[in-house]
Amino acid sequence: MKALENLNRVNLSTTLVMTLQKGLNEGEIGKVLNFALQQKCVRGVTFQPTQVAGRTDGFDPATDRITLTEVRKEILRQAPVFQPEDIILPVPCNPDALAMAYAMKMDGQVFPLTRFINPQDILDNSRNTIVYEQDERLHQHMVQLFSTGNSVECATNELNQSLMCCLPQVVAPNLGYENLFRIIIMRFIDAYDFVSAN
């Protein structure tokens, strides 16, 4: 809390990361999101389901693992400001392990932004595959917006150009880095994922 207090004071950006273990803390997802959205310095939350590796005595994947889909459902249940269309899955840079959402924080309110992205720009439903590579302009836009290698700051211009035109009811001529908030769900492949994929 002291670190966040100092970061808020100088508005130095940070991202909160929550490791999730089923039966332990998945009921706190909404509280973490609400807390993060109230912090000036927090640009997002990354949710990471526990990777099952190393000492796994007594681990039962049927009851003990939490999946990306379950995390997404918990976000929707515990943070009702977000709707299903707000959390994009799959994300082009890693369709098997990432889901992502963007929101704008402004004057104490939260405006989910990802719902204004046309899913057809990300997926070709006829083949259920990512085809953004076929359009160079779209490719560059999606890499900038949905790459975990880029900070939220890098996405500011992409969001300004592509989404703000779709929000005529929001007057935000000075939208900046501190207004953007990103949610990432990132799972790490483990032996149980490998087995279930085969």
Q: Dump pLDDT digits (tens) for 7-18.
A: 999 989 899 999
Q: What percentage of the chain has pLDDT greater than the value 70?
A: 64
Higher pLDDT, 73 or 58: 73
Across the chain, mean pLDDT equals 75
pLDDT in tens, 142-161: 455 555 555 555 555 555 55
Q: Does 164 score more than 50 pLDDT? A: no
Q: In this predicted structure, what is the pLDDT of residue 92?
A: 62
Are 132 and 140 a contacting pair, CB within 8 Å? no
**Is residue 174 exposed (0-12), middle (13-18) or buried (19+ Cβ within 10 Å)?**
exposed
Question: Which DSSP symbol is given to 90?
Answer: S
Residues 6+ apart with CB under 8 A from 120: none
pLDDT-derived band at 80 (thresholds 50, 70, 90) equals very high
- Count other Cβ atoms within 10 Å, centred on residue 84: 10
Mean pLDDT of 62-91: 89
pLDDT in tens, 30-67: 999 999 999 999 999 999 998 887 777 788 888 888 88
Overall pTM surpassing 0.85 (yes/no): no
